[in-house]
Structure 1
Amino acid sequence: MSTIKNNVVVIVRIPVPKFAPKWLVRKKMKATVDLYSSIDGLEFKLFTFETESGDFGGIYTWRDSASAEKWFNPEWFARIQRERGNEAYVRYFDAPLSIDNVQGGTPASTFDSHVATLVQIPIPQGVSKELVLSGFASAEETYRNVGGLLRKHFILGSHG
């Protein structure tokens, strides 16, 4: 189990090409596990399929913005467009606190059916960032004890 502070979470969504069935996309995901294990600054990657749209992509946890921006560069966007036939949608979030509830880190597997749910709650007008960060810190112990919860990212804003 670990706590990571002040990292960056990037969410990538790519529409699935009409010619690519889900099993083929999953196979390509599995083939890239070693590549993602060796990227400097990448702390964690979760491969994703969106339930409603069927789009695929990932949720990435980066050590810092510079590492993420180095990976998601213009060449990356061009390669995705060329290879996938669709544009990638990339959103950056500041993550002042991330929790990994699995001893030794979350395992790499492309066959598990874990679910990631993204919940965005706007910060009410007049509430300071410091108060939000304090709330995140006070909730950490609660989320450490949620059965079945592998990872939890407390995120602020969206940019990029």
Structure 2
Amino acid sequence: MITAIVRFPLPEGLSSDEVKAAYEHFAPQFRGAAGLIRKYYLLGAERTGGGVYLWESLEAVERMYSDAWRQRIAERFGASPQIEYFDTPLVIDNAAASA
């Protein structure tokens, strides 16, 4: 598995509600995305937006993070995303364990 952490600076003056609305607008492209296990949308105190993604494979990551996807982020939020990748050898999911 691969964890990707995506970050981008948010434009000044964009409210938390506007950021959430933008995330909700983009969410459908990730529902059912091949190879995506989980995604968390992020809103940092330092005006940083982004997401944490858990993918089945690097190939799945590369299919999603196309040039067009990067351009949509840049157009909506005013900056290209920065992406870090991590091998993810183990995941502990306490919520699923208690179900």
Q: Pick the TM interval, shorter chain.
A: 0.7 to 0.9
2:85 to 92, 105, 114: 92
TM-aligned CA deviation for residue 45 of structure 1: 0.2
Which residue of 59, 79, 82 maps to 2:75?
82
CA distance in 2, matches of 1:44, 1:34: 13
Q: Which amino acid aligns with 2:39?
A: K
Cα offset, 1:26, TM superposition: 0.9
Q: TM-score, normalised by structure 1?
A: 0.56
Q: CA deviation at 1:19?
A: 4.2
Q: Deviations over 1:20-70 (max 9, x none)?
A: 21110112223443332221100000111123x121110000000000111
- Identify the residue that residue 27 of structure 1 maps to in structure 2: 21
Larger-Rg structure: 1
Give the aligned CA root-mean-square deviation in angstroms.
1.7
1:1-160 aligned at under 5 Å gives the runs 7-51=1-45, 53-103=46-96
Instruction: Calculate percent identity across the aligned residue pairs.
Output: 27
Structure 1, unaligned stretches of length 5 or more? Answer: 1-6, 105-160
Distance in 1 between residues matched to 2:56 and 2:40, nearest whole Å? 15
Distance (Å, rounded) in 2 between the aligned partners of 1:58 and 1:28: 13
Gaps of 5+ in 2: none
C-alpha distance in structure 1 between counterparts of 2:94 and 2:26, whole Å? 24
Spell out, residue by residue over 1:59-107, the C-alpha distance to the aligned partner (whole angstroms, 9 max, x if none): 0000000001111122211221122211211111111111211138xxx
